[in-house]
Amino acid sequence: MTDTAADLPQHARERLQGLRDTSRRGGIFTSDFSVNEFLMVSEAGFEPLGLVVGSCIYHTGIQYAGWAKNQEMAVLSQAMYEARELAMTRMEQEAQSLSADGVVGVRLEVKRMEWDRDILEFLAIGTAIAHSKGHPGFKGPEGKPFTSDLSGQDLWMLLQSGYRPLALVMGSCVYHVAHQGMFQSLGNVGRNVEMPLFTQAMYDARELAMERMQKEAQEAGAEGVVAVQLHEGSHNWQPHVIEFFAIGTAVKPIEDAAVIPERLIPQIVIPVND
Amino acid sequence: MSLFGPPGGRPQDDAASAARQAAWDEALTRGTVPAFVKQRLAETMSGKRPWVTTASPAGLLAQRSHGIRPLGLVSGNCWFQFGYSWTRGHYEGWHTALDRLRLEAGLMGANAVVDVTLSVRRMPGTENEGHMDYGVVGTAVRLDGLPESTNPAIATVSALEFARLLESGIVPVGLAIGAHYDWFVATGYQAANAASFWNQEIAPLSSFLTRVRRQALQELRDDGVRLGSGVLAHTQHTELYRVEPDENNPYVRFLARYIALGTAVLHDSRSLRPFGVRPVMNVRDSRLLAATDTTKEVL
């Protein structure tokens, strides 16, 4: 696969070219914005360039865990992380070749393949946007486009609160939960008791996923992480193997006084129709 | 990177893994968390690591307007076997998990934990073994002007709704839980109700289900009384099953369970502040939802 924007195939470049140049005949933007989202992205001072996408089909390695042991499945953790990272990087390449400032509304999906339980597809898709007046202060780390799973409305809101998005940050931990021994299970029959091995496994896996996400944000130079979601799932693995996945948008205060929005005092409203 | 073998960047060291397990074991037994968790919480609190929040960017506005500052994600869980009592199991499981969440929040000096979500988890393949995990996750926050707290308030509402309650003079203080589970043995049920051709109430079942609901709501109330002066219950769920006779049970049996969860609040109805109503357009596509809207996640 390609490593830089310049290495993108001809057809991808043509598609992206057509998107960027709206003055040209046939030059349009594409996006999966809703009407509200489109309006709010414009209100925030940005314009959509085009849908950008990256995918990665990944064969996960093999790892065995001790039957009665709580432990991280490091091979699987790494696989889940690396494959997502690859899909994201490919999406970023497309955004870069559009000279985008960022990508919003990023969805990161994992799908399993019917024919092989070790093969997973990772998909990253979002809408590349650019500042309408070409303001340079919105790029992400290392001058690359920022990435975020926030919607257009949330982007506007984030800028209003004095922060700008840097990068979609994530942490993954695939964990094997110990099986309870026969004697331990029999000893507890009919009792109301905590099962500490299981409790600890959940705690540890969650802690590792959160810690990794936080570390990634730290490395991106973020002050904080918003809209964090904690997912857990088993991607067709053996029983007792689960993934904890933390994902959120790393943010940083806006430095440039020229683009700091006017202080917005939120007014608390109560929808009366729900 | 090698696919088959310990990955380079993060060696899977058996000794380190065992040490981690021992640390969890020791800490949870003593009712605390391991040193590496304490360190992460302390560094997050002091700004050495980025703060973390489950709130959408709108929640960050509350930081400016209401001085609600996010600290970090805090969590707790308890995998509980309810050998003799589902009711007690639900009560103890949730409360242990909440105590652990409160502990983490206390270590960060948080004044409150908002946006707390609850979920249960069963191990695939052991769904009928009578044990499950009770898990809670939320965002620890500091309120400007208040000193650090060791006993933070827990609320299922978001930071924005927390602010809305505070503005109206209502203080969210905790989470109230009412859960009840019971069996009903239908002796004589068949004869009385099964073969009729006319409309009639199945009175024994009505009264059974009503009793289960009332007891759960009584528990919700009792829990609420311990915490505050009211409960905003937003998650309620009932299940009723029919179980056919078997060799140990000659009669048809019915199993009912009911759970109600809500945010306990402190308020004085005489001092509620009125507010004007003004029509607005919502620019969000989705409604602002309560933390636990899908009831299947908490049973």
Of B81, B133, B137, the CB nearest to A193: B81
The residue ranking higher by pLDDT, B61 or A45, is A45
Nearest chain B Cα to A238, which residue? B124
pLDDT at A193: 85
Quick one: pLDDT at residue B189?
57
A216 falls within a domain: yes
Instruction: Quote the pLDDT of residue A268.
Output: 64
Whether B5 is covered by a domain: the verdict is: no
Answer whether A264 sits within 8 Å of B160, measured CB to CB.
no
Task: Name chain B contacts of A155, Cβ cutoff 8 Å.
Answer: 57
Q: Is residue A273 domain-resident?
A: no
Confidence band of A53 (pLDDT split at 50, 70, 90): very high
- On whether residue A149 sits in a domain, the answer given is yes
Nearest alpha-carbon partner for A214 in B112, B77, B44: B44
Judge whether residue B26 has pLDDT over 80. yes
Count: domains in chain B: 1
Instruction: Please say if the pLDDT value at position A232 is more than 80.
Output: yes
Flag if A74 and B7 touch (Cβ within 8 Å). yes
d(CA A145, CA B114): 32
Is residue A265 in some structural domain? no
In a domain, A270, yes or no: no
Write down the mean pLDDT value for chain B.
82
CA distance to partner chain A, nearest, from residue B29 (Å): 9
Q: Is residue B281 part of a domain?
A: no
Q: How far is CA A141 from the centre of its chain?
A: 15
Q: Does pLDDT of A242 surpass 80?
A: yes
8 Å CB contact between A254 and A218: no
CA distance B123 to chain A (A): 7
| ipTM exceeds 0.85, yes or no | no
- pLDDT computed for residue B296 by the predictor: 57
For residue A70, list chain B residues with Cβ-Cβ distance below 8 A.
Answer: 21
Contact list in B for residue A214 (CB cut-off 8 A) is 40, 44, 49-50, 52, 72
Residue B12 lies in a domain: no
CATH number, position A76: 3.30.110.70
Structural domain span for residue A124: 5-256
Neighbours of A174 (CB within 10 A): 29
Q: Does some domain include residue B284?
A: no
Mean pLDDT of B101-126: 89
* CA separation for the pair A123, A106 (Å, rounded): 10
Whether residue B221 contacts residue B178, with contact meaning beta carbons closer than 8 Å, is answered with yes
How close, in Å, is residue B279 to chain A by CA atoms?
A: 9
Read off the CATH number of the domain in which B255 is found. 3.30.110.70
Highest mean pLDDT among A159-173, A181-195, B177-191, B278-292: A159-173
B57 to chain A, minimum CA–CA distance in Å? 5
Q: Is the pLDDT of residue A111 over 70?
A: yes
Q: Do B280 and A269 touch (CB under 8 A)?
A: yes
Residue B123 lies in a domain: yes
* Cα distance from N-terminal residue to C-terminal residue, chain A: 49
Determine, yes or no, domain membership for B217. yes
The minimum CA-CA distance between A67 and chain B, rounded to whole Å, is 14
Q: Which residue has the higher pLDDT, B78 or B267?
A: B78
If you average pLDDT over residues A203-211, what whole number do you get? 94
Instruction: Please report the pLDDT score of residue A185 as a whole number.
Output: 62
pLDDT band at B3 (very low <50, low <70, confident <90, very high): very low
| Res. B127: pLDDT tops 70 | no
Residues of A in contact with B127 (CB under 8 A): none
pLDDT value of residue A222: 96
* Pair type for strands B171-185 and A46-59: unpaired
Per-residue pLDDT band at B73 (split at 50, 70, 90): very high
Q: Which residues of A touch B9 (CB under 8 A)?
A: 78
Q: How confident is the model at residue B234 (pLDDT cuts 50, 70, 90)?
A: confident
Query: Can you say whether the dihedral through the CA atoms of A10, A14, A17, A23 is positive or negative?
Result: positive
3-state secondary structure A166-201: EEEEEEEEEEECCCCCHHHHHHCCCCEEECHHHHHH
Which of B73, B121, B283 comes nearest A40 by C-beta? B283
User: Which residues on B lie below 8 Å from A195 (Cβ)?
Assistant: 79-81, 131
Least confidently predicted of A9-18, B96-105, B152-161: A9-18
Of residues B57, B73, B163, nearest to A228 (C-beta): B73
Q: Please give the average per-residue pLDDT across B123-147, as a whole number.
A: 85
Question: Looking at the 3D structure of chain A, how many domains does it have?
Answer: 1
* Nearest chain A alpha carbon to B17: A71
pLDDT of residue A187: 64
Is B4's pLDDT higher than 60? no
| Chain A to chain B Cβ contacts (< 8 Å) | 209
| pLDDT of B37 | 95
Q: Provide, rounded to the nearest whole percent, the portion of chain A with pLDDT above 90.
A: 46
Sign of the four-CA dihedral B276, B278, B284, B287: positive
Q: Determine the angle formed by the axes of helices B35-45 and B14-29, rounding to 10 degrees.
A: 80
What is the 3 state secondary structure string of chain B?
CCCCCCCCCCCCCHHHHHHHHHHHHHHHHCCCCCHHHHHHHHHHHCCCCCEECCCCHHHHHHHHHHCEEEEEEEEEEEEEEECCCHHHHHHHHHHHHHHHHHHHHHHCCCCEEEEEEEEEECCCCCCCCCEEEEEEEEEEEEECCCCCCCCCEECCCCHHHHHHHHHCCCEEEEEEEEEEEEEEECCCHHHHHHCCCCCCCCHHHHHHHHHHHHHHHHHHHHHHHHHCCEEEEEEEEEEEEEECCCCCCCCCEEEEEEEEEEEEEECCHHHCCCCCCCCCCCCCCCCCCCCCCCHHHHC
CB contact under 8 A, B40 and A151: no
| Average confidence (pLDDT) over A10-23 | 66
CB A102 within 8 A of CB A128: yes
Looking at residue B40, its pLDDT comes to: 95
The answer, yes or no, to whether residue A150 has pLDDT greater than 80, is yes
Q: Which residue has the higher pLDDT, A80 or B5?
A: A80
Would the pLDDT of B237 be above 80?
Answer: yes
pLDDT bracket for residue B99 (50, 70, 90) = very high
User: What gap in Å lies between CA B222 and CA B87, rounded to an integer?
Assistant: 15
Q: In the predicted model, is pLDDT for residue B5 greater than 80?
A: no
pLDDT recorded at residue B11: 45
Mean pLDDT of A144-157: 94
What share of chain B in percent tops pLDDT 90? 31
Residue B17 resides in a domain: no
CA distance A200 to chain B (A): 6
The residue range of the domain holding B214 is 26-269+291-298
The whole-number pLDDT of residue B245 equals: 85
Which chain A residue is nearest to residue B93, measuring alpha carbons? A194
Query: Which of chain A's residues have a Cβ under 8 Å away from the Cβ of B287?
Result: 271, 274
pTM of the complete model: 0.82
The reply to whether B152 touches chain A by the CB within 8 Å rule is no
Torsion of Cα atoms, A126 then A127 then A128 then A130, to 10°: -140
Q: Is A149 on the interface with B (CB under 8 A)?
A: no
**Does some domain include residue B141?**
yes
The answer to whether B220 touches B177, Cβ cutoff 8 Å, is yes
Mutate to test the interface with A, among B2, B4, B21 (most CBs of A within 10 A): B21
Mean pLDDT, rounded, for B131-136:
90
Residue scoring higher pLDDT (A10 or B108): B108
Average pLDDT over residues B184-200: 68
Q: Identify the closest residue of chain B to A220 by CA–CA distance.
A: B50
| Mean pLDDT of the residues in chain A | 85
Residue B10 has what pLDDT?
A: 46
Q: CB-based contacts of A64: which residues, under 8 Å, 6+ apart?
A: none
**Residue B88: which pLDDT band, with cuts at 50, 70 and 90?**
confident
Which residue out of A35, A73, A78 would a mutagenesis test of the B interface target, given it has the greatest number of B Cβ atoms within 10 Å?
A78
Between positions 111 and 140 of B, the ones with CB within 8 A of A are 121, 123-125, 131, 133, 135, 137
State yes or no: pLDDT of B100 exceeds 90.
yes
